[in-house]
Structure 1
């Protein structure tokens, strides 16, 4: 932007260069004109936010997400509107890298670090579920790691904005692999869907690969236990089962087995029902 060009404003923020791109919009560097604070501003420029009723609902949803505070949730500051009527989400500038960057670069995440990530993201999800909110988009690009290896979960409002009709319906290929089958069949986000996604994330971090060879639920094959401690195989199978009535009912239930496996103890029911040869493949009816 040249000196002769007036700054483009989103509320009290001047919009700077783009830093990243997603299926719902573009993340820009921005600066508060009053405090000079530098932030990240996600411009929802790939969706139609012009319909007044939906726009108001979207702003309310973003402001609700901004009211939620947890050490493992990447914070949201506020919703802002541009001079030309576009909607944006203000967030603190992240210095962390997404887990996806490590996976794409083929870097091995040490087992202890993977356990720490899963434990911290589970803590964030448990907090959200206590507020009767599902995240709905747990995946590597939304898990940020700082220099100390601490994980935070980002993009809380996005799945819910999609439900309002403001976000393109088609999820990314990565997101499809992480989605519970019932979500693929257009169910609204629920806490048990986050259990499935957390199971996929745990498997991905432990083995370096996605557990399924096809994003389509009916084409998915059983996971391979290669690279997994044997005691964790039934735990991951239960977290990722397409049968919702057999899946862990909560993040707490999954974490009890996940952490118990480190001490050689898991729920006998998990071990009985989810031996690799016995895992049911067909999802429940949507």
Structure 2
């Protein structure tokens, strides 16, 4: 049977796998689904239309699935979807989506989310990310796979954070952070690329070299963004192994609104 502490309150309509553990004084609402192997610590509130996958470890004092902090929200049936094997540390707040943003806040798989992280409505978080303590995302922020957010990072609404990127502590993002880029500052400025992270993830020397060239074209060549994209597209000829990395960068840059731009 599901291991539920006698002081926990679980609505009879909630769907919990038989292997789920629920700690003391936790409250789980009627529209919550929790998959196999997930543990929920004490003093948590999980409400709203919230689906949580398998083998997640949710520590104490979390609020998951509350309505968005959006004055336009009017009880529409929006969702929070959390994938598998995520670690969610203490005092995190993840809100459901809003009608104006697709209606879903989504967290992928294998993410390491430290204490006091806030994910506002309609945020989309990929896989294998790390959020250090007090990282804060406003609404509609998109975070790519393997991104690392340093402690006290703050992202403005609608900002996109590219795959394999990294922010230093106390970074403030008003613009899109392209893939691979490491940034720092208030507002954040690009410093270098996340070369060590790429090596740890098994990137070949050729792929790392291509990323190094991308960095030079974007940030060291005094090229306008369109001209830099043209030069980046040619890297597939000299670095064919990095074709997917080049395409990911070009796709990211093409989707960046001109009025927001990229971290420079």
- After TM superposition, the score normalised by the length of structure 1 is 0.31
- After TM superposition, the score normalised by the length of structure 2 is 0.32
Structure with the higher fraction of residues in helix conformation = 1
More RCO (CA 8 Å, sep 6+): 1
Structure with the higher fraction of residues in strand conformation = 2
